[in-house]
Amino acid sequence: MIVRPRPHLLELFFIIKGSIVLRIMPLLIFVATLSTVIVSIYTFKPGWLPKFDGGPFALLGITLSIFLAFRNNACYERWWEARKIWGEFVLTARSLARLSKVLESDKDVTQSPRRILLECNIAYAQALLVQLRPSNPQHKIHAYLPEAVFHEYSSSKNPAEAILRAMECVLIQALHSDRIDSIQFNMLDELLQKLAQVQASCERIQNTPIPFGYTLLLHRTAYTFCFLLPFCFANTLGWATPFVTALAAYTFFGLDALGNELEEPFAMGANALPISALADVIEIETKEALGDTDIPPLPVPKDFVLM
Amino acid sequence: MIVRPRPHLLELFFIIKGSIVLRIMPLLIFVATLSTVIVSIYTFKPGWLPKFDGGPFALLGITLSIFLAFRNNACYERWWEARKIWGEFVLTARSLARLSKVLESDKDVTQSPRRILLECNIAYAQALLVQLRPSNPQHKIHAYLPEAVFHEYSSSKNPAEAILRAMECVLIQALHSDRIDSIQFNMLDELLQKLAQVQASCERIQNTPIPFGYTLLLHRTAYTFCFLLPFCFANTLGWATPFVTALAAYTFFGLDALGNELEEPFAMGANALPISALADVIEIETKEALGDTDIPPLPVPKDFVLM
Amino acid sequence: MIVRPRPHLLELFFIIKGSIVLRIMPLLIFVATLSTVIVSIYTFKPGWLPKFDGGPFALLGITLSIFLAFRNNACYERWWEARKIWGEFVLTARSLARLSKVLESDKDVTQSPRRILLECNIAYAQALLVQLRPSNPQHKIHAYLPEAVFHEYSSSKNPAEAILRAMECVLIQALHSDRIDSIQFNMLDELLQKLAQVQASCERIQNTPIPFGYTLLLHRTAYTFCFLLPFCFANTLGWATPFVTALAAYTFFGLDALGNELEEPFAMGANALPISALADVIEIETKEALGDTDIPPLPVPKDFVLM
Amino acid sequence: MIVRPRPHLLELFFIIKGSIVLRIMPLLIFVATLSTVIVSIYTFKPGWLPKFDGGPFALLGITLSIFLAFRNNACYERWWEARKIWGEFVLTARSLARLSKVLESDKDVTQSPRRILLECNIAYAQALLVQLRPSNPQHKIHAYLPEAVFHEYSSSKNPAEAILRAMECVLIQALHSDRIDSIQFNMLDELLQKLAQVQASCERIQNTPIPFGYTLLLHRTAYTFCFLLPFCFANTLGWATPFVTALAAYTFFGLDALGNELEEPFAMGANALPISALADVIEIETKEALGDTDIPPLPVPKDFVLM
Amino acid sequence: MIVRPRPHLLELFFIIKGSIVLRIMPLLIFVATLSTVIVSIYTFKPGWLPKFDGGPFALLGITLSIFLAFRNNACYERWWEARKIWGEFVLTARSLARLSKVLESDKDVTQSPRRILLECNIAYAQALLVQLRPSNPQHKIHAYLPEAVFHEYSSSKNPAEAILRAMECVLIQALHSDRIDSIQFNMLDELLQKLAQVQASCERIQNTPIPFGYTLLLHRTAYTFCFLLPFCFANTLGWATPFVTALAAYTFFGLDALGNELEEPFAMGANALPISALADVIEIETKEALGDTDIPPLPVPKDFVLM
């Protein structure tokens, strides 16, 4: 995620970070060059190319805008829902750290059930991170999980769920040993179910892209439209055509490319969500609630980007 | 569901899988041919056909775009809601597998209530699949259900619900035999209610299409509009008309056809949801939670399509 | 609700059922006739009528489209919410049938509390139907309600709620006679509250139409606009005007009329919701759960329409 | 709220009630007069005024439509949310009347806790009404509240909440005197929290208008646009200009004025919500549940308007 | 937030407060000046500058409008969600004040657990305020928190959460000392979780702006478009160009600037939310519920603005 103060007017035109201008530059250059060629032909070799009226293209352009807006909206909502899910994750981790105090009793030594539960939760956040960004390092998961749970984690077809199952066992044991009663078990279990919901929702967003047919149809129409634009603008705009078609192409390709980035909110693009930082926040706050003193610093953006 | 990496620019124009281009090809060819005929007449027999101005058609086209966008939006939201429902299903199955551990006691042999409950749940997922896709094979349902329950399943007017009723009986028996207390019964019953909600929501989406009047009105207007297009474009675009009208028809018919596919998210089209794969995931994860070792492999897409 | 397979291309233009074309036919004929008259005057008595440019009308038309889309969206969401509410109703009825098993005890004879509760629920569905469609027959309500409850039902200002109050009494009695404990009472009462919510939500949709001002404003603008269309199209379209204006009028009036139908999802129109069939489903499934054998057949569409 | 059957075609143009046409009439007359003056000048003093092309205005008009639609949508959603909140209110009042039966015991005389609770709830509905419509009469609040509670009500900074606090005291007393157990206390308290939510949600809608900047920007642009319209239409429409500009102004000003009415759903306009009638419904149904016989009649619309 | 009666027609054009006209004035002057220069050149030095047709720009303008509307919608929804969250906060504070009565017992002196809990909640509201508006004074936090809790608050990486942890301790102590049972503990803890949710939701909105790429793309396109407008309007509007381009620029820049303000609903702009006032309301109502008499006055808008 790009984190930076709102730029001033002139800066606005020279910011590269977070802009998708670099990614679509080849296309813009192609459109501008094509425009130049066509205007040259119209000017120096009139008659070589037929002249077109802009009307039909305007209709196509407005139609295209309406559907691009539809797709952008869908992508943005996925992105925002993904952010809500991780906000829910941070909230649940806090509630678990707070409420699990009922698990404590006076005679606990360091390996209290509460500590096991909360350290498993730190590992769970990291495990989810690995599921969403497979290149993420796994050493924290090993560090925070008890040996037996880590073994289960490694061999499971659904590693994150394996951690939750271990956390459930901690709760059931506490229930059976009368450390907590059924009501308190219910309260803590509800938090585990919310943690499980975070995983299920993330999976849904990661594994179910916008229907491929839409992407295909919109890409094709947008590209064809932008490559046709010079033919219908050259007529009325003359040598200004390359500039105006490049501007139009920037808008259409740019929104299309942004939609692509937001469609995958857990990827590593500049506009992706800072889920790595959020997992670190969960670690920091959980350790603080446990009374630990070796608390890592809060994550900071690097080069305006927080991952 | 189409599962494939985002294609590159040139690939983009030659992908067939997941595109609806094949399905609307006859229409595109018809529109292009009609355009060619009309341009020919305008060129070689001027006066045979009246010439029209594009203005009124542009108005019709924009109106049509706005309402097509409305319908596409409604269809996409149905599709996405269906995906959410099945995500909820997977989540509930996991929670049931996790939480049902409270049902276990030391003296259980293989046919513990937990095992009956969870195997019924695997069968429930398959039963829902059969309800949504009647051609689906039923052998797993037979395999996982106790004989008596399978009998009830086969004779019920609502087979899936019959399985849930059997699961409820397992819980009530556990309650009456003091294996669980009322609170724990409540927690487990809430999961059953969520399972029932999955069925009710799927039924709602499957049995209640977008009001037929909309489909009819939009189809009729879109077809008539695209068949009129050549008359108003031929005027200004000349021999480019067949290409541009085909492009416009591709956009309008394509979005219409995509809307049709998404309207039925449980059907067998390429853009339908992979509910078969999700039911398999439920089976795999439930068996793992039960400690079984004969776990089937995770489903993989075939020819870029996951069903 | 129209229930039929998606029609093929040619069928599409000749389907009457579910189309709103019959209802707006007089308007279409009027618009087409008006167009013919105006074109005749332009052709044979040039100068009698002033000629108008289409520009200002295009602006009006697009504005009108945007607001018609807004109203259609609002109407569709009411319709879909109504469907969700009845889906929730079916779900709650199933959950009540399933969960009420905890009410049963070994010494029950036929008039067990569970049977009273569930038969009241069947009557509740029919009572809601009568509230939403006053012409509906009431005999089932009498058949399923105990005499005393039917008396209360008949004299209440809120008949459906009177049934729910009777159901609550069954639960409270079961609680006081220790048939169920407080937790189970809570679980069953939550289902009653959901049943009450169904009624309140249906009332909201039935009694609160889209603000009358919108309907008025959009109707007036749409009618005036369509009656002006011939004046500005005649200019450029000549003898094609009657056809094109009728097509435009079909789109505008058609969407307006469809919005009207969806605005009242409980009415008796062809696009209304099949709430009668859903109430029957509740009866059938509840009777099956009670172990009754005289189960009526599932409702089927008549002439492609399910009410 | 306007309550009337859908009008027929001709009626449509002559209905005043619920239309905003009277409120914007001065503006329409101004626009039509301005148009007449401008057309006269163009006709009789050509050259006095420059002629403009409509193109730039069409762009402005479409932009304006898009943003008016955005604001109307926001206003409509506020209005509909307000209706949902009061629907929730009616539902909670019913549930409270139903569930509070558990408070009753055989030895109760008339001033049972249940009666106090429910009569407080009637007063609560009236108190909320006074908060939303300060001119509403307060006599019912005095009539239904016990003297001590009415005293607290009058002196509180949040009078409605003071009533809820009194209701909570009734519940806590019932809990401490073992009339209900903790579970039942929880169930009844949840209903109180829902009542409190109704107040908080109503406050939010009443106290937080659409951001003032939007209202200002849209009003200014809409007015300026409509006053400029004659200049660009006069060119092409001649003496039809006054009529067409008045029609366009009717659409733009009308939607703007309707948005204003819906923005304040608790005000006293013709399109406001009938919250007075709903509060009466709560009184009637609560009294019926208490077994009272002096039940007031259901509210009826006066002159097609239900307040 | 701007709090003022709806202005009359003439006032409308002269209100500055809450309008964003001052902030975009330099841009408007620039656009108007540019227009004047261009029209002068066209008039006095024809041929120096090429003339452009407006068609291509209209297409760009409509596309831009559609995407501006998309961004405004997203910003408005953030703003409205933020308001809902604080409404939920006020509601939860009231519920906590009401329900915490169960904590009281006859032998309590002033430092009852209920008082500690509620005063911590007042401090929590202030702490959240400081988190969202770092320049806010902190003296109230110190005043209401017990010394030990304030110490924890000051040294925590998540100060607001530290207060909630202290409140949880109060509840757990009350549970362990049998002042409340598990059910009542559950009820009160749910309110703490809702308080925590307020913080998490506010953090989400504050820390996650609309993706920077959108802001950049829309700003760039809007600016470039408005600077190009004079070139294509000058042609047809002549000396009216400066006025009309300034009006168009006012609409586009104004909506863009308003979107910016709403994107940060907790900032200090005139259209930001009055969270300071809402935190004061929480203090006032909590003190009243505690029976305190030194209640501060309700917050009032200063110069039409409530912060």
CA-based nearest distance E52→chain D, Å = 13
Give me the pLDDT at residue E36, please. 92
Q: Which of B54-58, B209-213, C98-102 has the highest mean pLDDT?
A: C98-102
Indicate whether B163 belongs to any domain: yes
Q: Which of B124-138, C223-237, D157-171 has the lowest mean pLDDT?
A: C223-237
Chain D partners within 8 Å of E101 (Cβ)? 165, 168-169, 172
**Nearest CB to E20; choose among D172, D213, D260:** D213
Average pLDDT, rounded, for chain D: 90
Same domain, B85 and B204: yes
A281-297 pLDDT, tens digit per residue, is 999 999 999 999 999 99
Chain C partners within 8 Å of B67 (Cβ)? 65, 69, 72, 251, 255
**Nearest CB to D217; choose among E73, E80, E255:** E255
Cβ(A303)–Cβ(A15) below 8 Å:
no
Same domain, A159 and A130: yes
Most E CBs within 10 A among A190, A237, A303, hence the mutation to make, goes to A237
CA-based nearest distance B276→chain C, Å = 23
Q: Which of A258-272, D133-147, E212-226 has the highest mean pLDDT?
A: D133-147
A207-242 pLDDT, tens digit per residue, is 999 998 888 888 888 888 888 888 877 777 888 888
Given pLDDT bands bounded at 50, 70 and 90, which one contains residue E76?
A: very high
Give me the pLDDT at residue D54, please. 67
CA dihedral for E71, E73, E78, E83, sign (positive or negative): positive
Contacts of E292 (CB under 8 A, 6+ apart): none
Residue D49 pLDDT exceeds 80: no
Residue E167 pLDDT exceeds 90: yes
Indicate whether B194 belongs to any domain: yes
Give the residue-averaged pLDDT of D247-264: 90
Interface touch E12/D220, C-beta < 8 Å:
yes
Residue A173 pLDDT exceeds 70: yes
**Nearest CB to A212; choose among B2, B181, B248:** B2
Give me the pLDDT at residue E95, please. 97
Q: Where do runs of H (alpha helix) occur along C100-181?
A: 113-132, 139-144, 147-155, 159-176
User: C46: how many CB neighbours lie within 10 A of its CB?
Assistant: 9
Distance of CA A132 to CAs A69, A92, A156, A271, B14, Å?
A: 27, 19, 16, 16, 30
Looking at per-residue confidence, does D47 or C252 come out higher?
C252
Chain C partners within 8 Å of B52 (Cβ)? 236-237, 240
**Nearest CB to E56; choose among A18, A88, A237:** A237
Give me the pLDDT at residue E165, please. 97
Give the residue-averaged pLDDT of E295-300: 91
| Alpha-carbon span B161 to B195, nearest angstrom | 10
Most A CBs within 10 A among B24, B106, B190, B251, hence the mutation to make, goes to B251
Nearest CA in chain A to B304: A212
**Nearest CB to A90; choose among E66, E200, E217:** E200
Residue B157 pLDDT exceeds 70: yes
Interface touch D9/C50, C-beta < 8 Å:
no
Same domain, B165 and B40: no
The single-letter code of the amino acid at A181 is D
Give the residue-averaged pLDDT of D145-166: 95
Most B CBs within 10 A among A57, A155, A182, hence the mutation to make, goes to A182
Looking at per-residue confidence, does A43 or D50 come out higher?
A43
Average pLDDT, rounded, for chain A: 90
Residue D14 pLDDT exceeds 70: yes
State both tokens at E34: 């540019």
State both tokens at B107: 């003296």
Q: Which of A234-243, E119-128, E227-236, E254-263 has the highest mean pLDDT?
A: E119-128
Give me the pLDDT at residue A110, please. 59
Q: Could you give the percent of chain C with pLDDT greater than 70?
A: 96
Beta bridge partners of C305: C2, C302
Give me the pLDDT at residue D18, please. 67
Cβ(D129)–Cβ(D272) below 8 Å:
no
Give the DSSP letter of residue E41. Answer: H
C161-203 pLDDT, tens digit per residue, is 999 999 999 999 999 999 999 999 999 999 999 999 999 999 9
| Alpha-carbon span E277 to E284, nearest angstrom | 10
Residue A278 backbone dihedrals phi, psi, to 5 degrees: -65, -35
Indicate whether D130 belongs to any domain: yes
Same domain, E157 and E252: no
What is the per-residue DSSP string for chain B?
-B--PPPPHHHHTT--TT-SHHHHHHHHHHHHHHHHHHHHHHHHSTTSS----SHHHHHHHHHHHHHHHHHHHHHHHHHHHHHHHHHHHHHHHHHHHHHGGGG--TT--TT-HHHHHHHHHHHHHHHHHHHHSTTS--HHHHHHS-HHHHHHHHH-SSHHHHHHHHHHHHHHHHHHTTSS-HHHHHHHHHHHHHHHHHHHHHHHHHH-PSPHHHHHHHHHHHHHHHHHHHHHHHHHHGGGHHHHHHHHHHHHHHHHHHHHHHH-TTSSSTTS--HHHHHHHHHHHHHHHTT-S-PPPPP--BTTB--
Give the residue-averaged pLDDT of E174-188: 95
Same domain, B90 and B234: no
The single-letter code of the amino acid at D191 is L
Q: Which of C112-116, D261-265, E241-245, E286-290 has the lowest mean pLDDT?
A: E241-245
Nearest CA in chain B to A261: B6
B65-104 pLDDT, tens digit per residue, is 888 999 999 999 999 999 999 999 999 999 999 999 999 8
Chain A partners within 8 Å of E236 (Cβ)? none
Q: Could you give the percent of chain C with pLDDT greater than 90?
A: 57
Give me the pLDDT at residue A139, please. 93
Give me the pLDDT at residue E107, please. 66
Give the residue-averaged pLDDT of C84-103: 97
Chain C partners within 8 Å of B249 (Cβ)? none
Most E CBs within 10 A among A88, A288, A305, hence the mutation to make, goes to A288
Give me the pLDDT at residue A107, please. 66
Residue B109 pLDDT exceeds 70: no
Interface touch A18/E216, C-beta < 8 Å:
yes
Residue E93 pLDDT exceeds 80: yes
Looking at per-residue confidence, does E20 or A134 come out higher?
A134
Q: Could you give the percent of chain E with pLDDT greater than 70?
A: 96
Give me the pLDDT at residue B108, please. 61
**Nearest CB to E187; choose among D66, D189, D211:** D189
How would you write C55-70 as a 3-class SS string? HHHHHHHHHHHHHHHH
**Nearest CB to D183; choose among E9, E102, E183:** E183
Give me the pLDDT at residue B54, please. 67
Most D CBs within 10 A among E228, E255, E305, hence the mutation to make, goes to E255
Radius of gyration of chain C (CA): 27
Give chain C's domain count: 1
Give the DSSP letter of residue C53. Answer: -
Residue D53 pLDDT exceeds 80: no
Interface touch A181/E182, C-beta < 8 Å:
yes
Same domain, B119 and B238: no
Same domain, A94 and A164: yes
Nearest CA in chain B to C18: B213
Give me the pLDDT at residue D109, please. 60
Interface touch D66/E61, C-beta < 8 Å:
no
Q: Could you give the percent of chain D with pLDDT greater than 70?
A: 96
Looking at per-residue confidence, does E232 or E54 come out higher?
E232
Same domain, A257 and A284: no
Indicate whether A6 belongs to any domain: no
Beta bridge partners of C92: none
Nearest CA in chain C to B56: C233
Give me the pLDDT at residue E77, please. 96
Residue B302 backbone dihedrals phi, psi, to 5 degrees: -110, 120
CA dihedral for E159, E162, E166, E172, sign (positive or negative): positive
Given pLDDT bands bounded at 50, 70 and 90, which one contains residue C231?
A: confident
Given pLDDT bands bounded at 50, 70 and 90, which one contains residue E292?
A: very high
The single-letter code of the amino acid at B67 is F
Nearest CA in chain E to D157: E285
Average pLDDT, rounded, for chain B: 90
Chain D partners within 8 Å of C214 (Cβ)? 258
Interface touch B60/C251, C-beta < 8 Å:
yes
Most B CBs within 10 A among C11, C91, C193, hence the mutation to make, goes to C91
Chain E partners within 8 Å of A83 (Cβ)? 204, 208
Give me the pLDDT at residue A237, please. 80
Given pLDDT bands bounded at 50, 70 and 90, which one contains residue D108?
A: low
**Nearest CB to D284; choose among C59, C157, C185:** C157
CA dihedral for B158, B161, B163, B165, sign (positive or negative): negative
Cβ(A103)–Cβ(A92) below 8 Å:
no
Chain E partners within 8 Å of A271 (Cβ)? 211-213
Nearest CA in chain C to D4: C212
Contacts of C91 (CB under 8 A, 6+ apart): B196, B197, B200
Most B CBs within 10 A among C4, C14, C80, hence the mutation to make, goes to C80
**Nearest CB to E61; choose among D63, D74, D216:** D63
List the domain range (segments joined by +) for residue A159: 87-209+273-289
Indicate whether E134 belongs to any domain: yes
Q: Which of A31-45, D105-119, D160-174, E245-259 has the highest mean pLDDT?
A: D160-174
Residue B270 pLDDT exceeds 90: no
Nearest CA in chain E to D224: E247
Q: Which of B128-137, D38-47, E214-223 has the highest mean pLDDT?
A: B128-137
C139-168 pLDDT, tens digit per residue, is 999 999 999 999 999 999 999 999 999 999
Q: Could you give the percent of chain A with pLDDT greater than 90?
A: 57
Give me the pLDDT at residue E170, please. 96
Helix, strand, coil percent values for chain E (each to nearest 5) = 75, 0, 25
Looking at per-residue confidence, does C59 or E71 come out higher?
E71
Residue E152 pLDDT exceeds 80: yes
CA-based nearest distance B6→chain C, Å = 32
Indicate whether D109 belongs to any domain: yes
- The distance from CA C89 to its chain's CA centroid, rounded to whole angstroms, is 15
Indicate whether A147 belongs to any domain: yes
State both tokens at E110: 């002033």
State both tokens at B85: 């429902």
Same domain, B28 and B134: no
Same domain, B89 and B126: yes
| Alpha-carbon span C198 to C193, nearest angstrom | 9
Same domain, E87 and E192: yes
Nearest CA in chain A to E181: A183
Q: Which of B36-50, B233-247, D4-18 has the lowest mean pLDDT?
A: D4-18
Given pLDDT bands bounded at 50, 70 and 90, which one contains residue D8?
A: confident
Nearest CA in chain D to E249: D60
A76-126 pLDDT, tens digit per residue, is 999 999 999 999 999 999 999 999 999 987 666 657 899 999 999 999 999
Same domain, B252 and B279: no
Indicate whether E38 belongs to any domain: yes
Beta bridge partners of C2: C305
Interface touch E56/A183, C-beta < 8 Å:
no
| Alpha-carbon span A248 to A240, nearest angstrom | 12
Chain B partners within 8 Å of C247 (Cβ)? 60, 221, 224-225
A partners (3+ CB pairs within 8 A) are B, E
Chain C partners within 8 Å of B66 (Cβ)? 65-66, 69
**Nearest CB to D211; choose among E237, E258, E298:** E258
Residue D105 pLDDT exceeds 80: no
**Nearest CB to C84; choose among B55, B204, B213:** B204
Chain C partners within 8 Å of D66 (Cβ)? 66
The single-letter code of the amino acid at A57 is F
| Alpha-carbon span E120 to A69, nearest angstrom | 46
Give me the pLDDT at residue E6, please. 73
Q: Could you give the percent of chain E with pLDDT greater than 90?
A: 58
Residue D102 pLDDT exceeds 90: yes
